[in-house]
Amino acid sequence: AQSVTQPDIHITVSEGASLELRCNYSYGATPYLFWYVQSPGQGLQLLLKYFSGDTLVQGIKGFEAEFKRSQSSFNLRKPSVHWSDAAEYFCAVVYSNYQLIWGAGTKLIIKP
């Protein structure tokens, strides 16, 4: 069955440190993948997406993600986090033209 796994429920990172959020998917076909961010009390905002082509995808706010087919992963990275990056991050894979399979989310906590 198709699924998306975000193994880390919470991650704490010091401000200025690098960040990597993990996402693994299980899907038979070539996946369309997203990372969304949800700030407290807000809706979800698209950070980046992978549909095809270059496996290293650049997004907004300095984020990037790398699609690795051999590892079924789409990990999100940022070289230096800012306090404003504290939020919940969701990975998702397109299941049909209107269905996404969402990960459970990873809450990012920034230490000053």
Binding site for another protein (CB under 8 A): 32, 34, 36, 41-46, 49, 51, 90, 94, 96-100, 102, 104-105
> Which C-beta is closer to another protein: that of 36 or that of 78?
36
CB 64 within 8 A of CB 78: yes
CA distance 100 to 63: 21
> Which C-beta is closer to another protein: that of 5 or that of 15?
5
Smallest separation, CB 14 to another protein (Å): 27
Dihedral angle, C-alpha 92, 99, 69, 71, nearest 10 °: 50
Rg (CA), the chain: 13
Smallest separation, CB 62 to another protein (Å): 18
Q: Using DSSP bridges, classify how beta strands 64-68 and 73-78 pair: parallel, antiparallel or unpaired.
A: antiparallel
> Which C-beta is closer to another protein: that of 70 or that of 97?
97
Smallest separation, CB 18 to another protein (Å): 26
